[in-house]
Amino acid sequence: MDHLTLEELNDADGKTFVEILGGVYESSPWVAERARADRPFSSVDALHDRLSRAVEDASRERKLDLLRAHPDLGEQTEMTDTSEQEQASAGLDELSPEQYETFQRLNETYRERFGFPFIMAVRGASPDAIQAAMERRIENSEAEEFRTALEQVHEIARLRLEELLS
């Protein structure tokens, strides 16, 4: 992501605003679209709060689509550049064959149980810590995990905003 100031973002035309923020919530420009009319934002926190509210006000189906837009962790397939960088920062691009197999098994079990991928703000976490979180969260109820996944999506968005607007 390129870096810009909050003032530059506030001053951008509506289309540019949505283009800039369209990936903050993984492949979901509708989130930025819902927030753009509330400009100017006084802080990154205010912007994040508004984007988060756009997600929280969405239908359950729209939230589920947002969760499903995220890639599996440790997966070696196409993903957004930002997701690729975040996973690399956690060493998920350098898993041993055994770790990769474990992540694949956990991803599959999780997706079958909940209907969306395991989501965690992984920047700077270790593969072992991520694996432990996966193993722990697989035991959650569907309602609890849906809420936890959304909280993680909001945290990922906050980290992306902070990087973008540094």
Q: Are 51 and 157 in contact (CB under 8 A)?
A: yes
35 φ, ψ to 5°? -95, -20
Q: What residue type is assigned to position 123 of the chain?
A: R
- What is the Cα–Cα distance from 138 to 118, expressed in whole angstroms? 9
Active-site residue, selected from the candidate residues 3, 48, 70, 154:
70
Q: Is 48 a catalytic residue?
A: no
What does the chain come to in residues? 166
The catalytic site residues sit at 70
